[in-house]
Every structure is written in structure tokens, then in C-alpha cells.
Chains A and B, each alone.
Chain A
Amino acid sequence: MKIFWILLLFSMFNFAGENVKNFAQLIPKKVVDWEAVESDRSYNRKTLYDYMDGGAEVYLAFDFNQVFVRKFLGPSQNEMVLDIYDMLSSEEAFGIFSCDRQDEEIGIGQDSEYGYGLLKFWQGRYFVTITAMHEEEAAEKAILELGKIVVSHLGPAGRKPSLLKCLPEKNLKENRISFFHSNINLNNRFFIASENILHLGRKTDCVFAEYQINDTETGYLLLIQYPDEPKAKIAYESFLKSYIPEAQKTGQAHMENNKWTKAMLLKNMVAIVFEAPTEQWANEIHLSIKFFLR
């Protein structure tokens, strides 16, 4: 019986270690008039630094497992790079996709966007980027064609993080919702503090959302789920002390730019509204959070 479990464990790790390399057989080496060059490469959590200069930590803050990389050359010797990231779960794949959104939906995978030679989408446990660095307009056809081919090999759709269900829906910008765990992702999305004053880490789930207040103003909601209530309380008190020390009792404060910040603790969750134009608006957002739905 012991040998059975050892073999099962080995096969699981082996599968996880090998699966992105399987894409080498599945993805064609010629797309439109672009052809694969160099050898395919793959990187894991230990070797990702060899591939990314400074960006690796952003991926390592999620359950990133491996990435498959293939380079193509186009007719003008321009380069197009395909990256397929195995994030181990659909929630994590959505998360890494959601932290960096600015373009229009293009209809590939579960969510996608394309702009200026960069296609991004997620499908199931995979997050995919296809990038051309020069003459983006000429590369667009090949990028989108390759994206459609890749998505057909990624398996069924997966679910989004359940924490998203808590978000108030009124005036929510659907394509500006981000899911993540760590301080590095929060600070890339919306800088709050130089230190990790909210005690974020791999075991915290965070949603950051934008709300259209009027034609010119945007409000922000950060929702954090901690592993337990004591950890949430410590983080809440740390935030008050470091960010709004004048609000130890009320949890809300009037900022130097005439906006409001309001924090709230409920069991193992912390909700913070930033850039609220009025105290009332911050209160309304807090009261609309559907804590019971997660």
C-alpha cells in the first residue's frame, strides 16, 4: 500500500513537471507566415528568474508551476513569443490575468484582451500571453490565429475565485477587477504602502475593484480574506495604525486630497474603500458588500 502511494505521488509530480512540455507536440510550428525558431523552453518556480528580469516575483506570488515558451519569426524577421503558464488552478490563472488589464475583450478563452501586439487570455488553469515587439499591426493576424489554436488545447473552462461574488455590483467596472494574494501585486495595482501593512501573503485572498462614481471620479474597494479571524484583526489594526492613525475608533478618515478612506473588519475579512468622494459613498459601498456569498 505504501508503495502505491509513493508511486501515485511520483506520478502526480511527474505530470505536473512534464505537462507544459506536452504543448511542444500540440502547437504547430508554423502559424500564418510565422515559423518557430530556436528550441522550445520551459521554466519552473526555481528557474523563472532566468526568463524574467524583475517580473518573476509577480508570478511567484501566485501558484505558478511552469511556463512553456516558443519563439516565432515573421516575414520581416520580427519576433513573436508564446508563453503558456500553468497556474495549477483556474482561480490562479484568472488572478494573474486580472492583475494587468487595459485593453478590449477579443473573445479568446474565458477572458482575453488584445492591444499593441500583446494578447492575453486565461482558460482553465492556464494563462497565456502572445507578444510581438515590433510592427505590431503586421503581427496581429498571426497573434490572434495562434491564440485560437492554443486555447483549443487548454481543456475545459474553470471557475473564478468565489471572493468575487462579494463585490457590490452597482457601478462596478467588470474589466477592472483583480484577484491576488500578495503585497507585490497590490502595489503594482494600487500603491498603498512601502511595507506589508496589511499582512498579505500566499494564504490571503484579495480582490481589488474599481467603481465609476461619475464621469471623472473612480473609487476603489479592496477586499481581503484572511485564513482566520485573529489574523484579520491584526491586519486591520496594522492598517489603521500605519495608514489612518486618526481613525482608530471609526475606521474612516478624510485624506489630504479631500477623499475618504474607510476600513472595516468583519470576522476573517477586511474591506477598505479608497478615494471615496464622500463619507456616505464609502459607507454605501461597505454596506453593499455581500460577505455571505463567498
Chain B
Amino acid sequence: MDKIITRRNFIAGTTLAVLGAAMGLSQEPVKKSRVVLIRHPEALDENSRIKEEIIQQMMDEAVMRLLDQDDPISAFAKLVRPGETVGIKSNVWSYLPTPPEVENVIKRRLIDVGVKEENISIDDHGVKTNPIFQNATSLINVRPLRTHYLAGVSGCIKNYIMFGKSQPEYHPNSCADLGLLFKLPMVKGKTRLNVLCALTPQYHGRGPHHFSRRYVWNYKGIIVSQDPVAVDTIGLRLIMAKRREEFGKAQELPPVPKHIEIADVKHGIGISDLNRIEFIRLGWTEGILI
């Protein structure tokens, strides 16, 4: 790839044109990806504890809208069939893990659809040696939204790094080729749903572990899509909007979030062009930012 994304491209909003030109791709519109953001003012209590019953409502409504279904079981039945083996790829990063409440509501709906409980596993670091994941016919990808030193943003694309041979293998060039993870045999063609938890997203990182509670806010949202690139594209816009609000326009960019566009134009695993994303907002709108 000859072209380089610069600060100027972000100022002018031309990053995708740069990458598309570099790949020799046309800019003609093709199929859109749907992304649903749902928020609820009571998703967290006054102590920021997650209310599982509200999360269940949010997840159900979001997936129903994503798949144009009238009830949650029918919606999840569009994703997986009875008899399948399903891995829920979670994230255990100690400072901001995938909330168990979110894992629970997904697992509950898989069982409701007819997947046997013993054929469902929730895992992160152990996915490569986990028999359920090794034999999985479907994967659900679920993790929190946060900034990252190298990748700029840790979202659903980066969440699959544990399927890789080694993590450092995907670090060069600001994690540019994370999209390749979705082409690994253990993963390819199996991801049915991507869930980006924006209940308490992190918009900036500090200290040795890139975490400080001051840069986490109660957004009380969940973002879902069948397209991992589209869901991360919306996640990045949310992070940028929050950074713009807190730090000003000059600091809206986390470092080099280019792997999202590259996952689209180079690896072809999803859509990063906002013009080709059908973005649906549901629920609470106060402080929505995007």
C-alpha cells in the first residue's frame, strides 16, 4: 500500500478515499451494513453496577431491529440454529472486561433458540485450545469499547487477536492487519453477531496499563452488527466525539485507528465507509454524541 493516512486526511474526512485509491478500489456504493446503537438511562445503577434485566431488554431490542424481527427468539434464530456449537468470544482485560451480564443475556438467548448449554462456551485467552471453540459452527464476538496504545481503538476486530498464532505478530504498523484474523480457519465465516459494549467506554488511556477510571464514562449503550468493521467504525466515531468534547478538536484522534479501514479495503471483511453503513439509533438520546 503506497498511500499514507495523515492527520490532514482526518481533518478533511478523506481517509477512505486515500485507502481505496491505494488498493485500486472503486468508490461506487455497494451493499450497506446495518449497525444498531441502543441506549438506556437505567442500564447502570447509581454505583455504575450493570442491571442485567435492562441489558436483556436492550440486547433483545437491538438484535430484533438489526434483523427485522418482532421477537427476540426469532431474531436470535436468524443467527444460530438448534444443534449448533457456539463460542462467545469475550474479553477478560481486568480493568474493563466484557461484563458478565452481557455474556449472560447472549447465552440465555442462544439456549432459548435451542442451542444446548453444553455446546456453548464463553472464553478469551483459551479460545484456541477450548474444544467448543475448536468445533464451533458459530461465533458471537462481544467486548467493551476502548482506546488502545497501538491500534488506536480496541473493538470487535481486535477482539479476535487471541485466535492468532501470537499477539505480537499482529502489532506491527499499528496493528494494521488485524482484519486478517477473520480469515483464520477457526474463525472464517463463523461470526454471526458483533457486540460492542459501550456501557462504560474508555476514551483515553494513561499509565502503564493504559487505564484510568477518569477516562471511562457511563454512556449506557450497546452497539451491535453482523459486520465487525462497521460496528468498530461506529465505535471509533463515538470515541472521537467524546475526545473532541473533552480534549478539543486537535486531540480527537486516538493513535492511528487505521486497522478498521484496512480491514475493509484491503481484507474485505466489512464496511468502514459511513456512507455505506445504515446506522440505527434506539432508546435514550441524551448525550448520544453520534
Contacts and interface: CB of A to CB of B under 8 A. Distances in A.
A293 interface: no
Interface stretch (B3-11, B29-37, B192-200): B3-11
Contacts, number: 97
Interface string B191-230: 0000000000000011111111110000000000000000
B126 interface: no
Contact of A49 (B6, B167, B209): B167
Contact of A129 (B154, B173, B208): B208
A100 B207 contact: yes
B255 A187 contact: yes
B212 A118 contact: yes
B185 interface: no
A192 B5 CA distance: 9
Given A53-B93, A57-B171, A118-B207, A194 B8 contact: no
B5 A54 contact: no
Contacts of B174: 184, 187, 194
A254 to B, nearest CB: 11
A248 interface: no
A214 to B, nearest CB: 14
Contacts of A220: 250
Contacts of A136: 213
Interface residues of B, number: 38
Contact of A58 (B4, B149, B250): B149
A114 to B, nearest CB: 12
A118 B253 CA distance: 23
Contacts of A194: 4-6, 173-174, 176, 256, 258
Nearest to A238: B4
Nearest to A274: B7
A155 interface: no
B148 interface: yes
A54 B208 contact: no
B168 interface: yes
Interface in A253-281: 255-257, 274-275
A256 B11 contact: yes
Given A194-B256, A197-B4, A184 B149 contact: yes
Contacts of A10: none
Contact of B8 (A116, A118, A218, A256): A256
Contacts of B207: 100, 118, 120, 129, 131
B50 interface: no
B151 A54 contact: yes
A116 B173 CA distance: 32
A117 B258 CA distance: 32
21 contacts: A53-B210, A54-B148, A55-B149, A55-B205, A55-B210, A57-B171, A118-B207, A118-B212, A133-B213, A187-B174, A187-B256, A191-B253, A191-B254, A191-B256, A193-B6, A194-B176, A194-B258, A243-B7, A255-B8, A256-B8, A256-B12
Sort A-B residue pairs by CB-CB distance and give the 6 closest, nearest first. Answer: A194-B5, A187-B255, A116-B214, A193-B6, A256-B12, A191-B253
Interface of A: 49, 52-55, 57-59, 83, 100, 102, 115-118, 120, 129, 131, 133-134, 136, 184, 187-188, 190-195, 197, 218, 220, 242-243, 255-257, 274-275
Interface of B: 4-8, 10-12, 93, 95, 148-151, 154, 167-168, 171, 173-174, 176, 205-214, 249-250, 253-256, 258
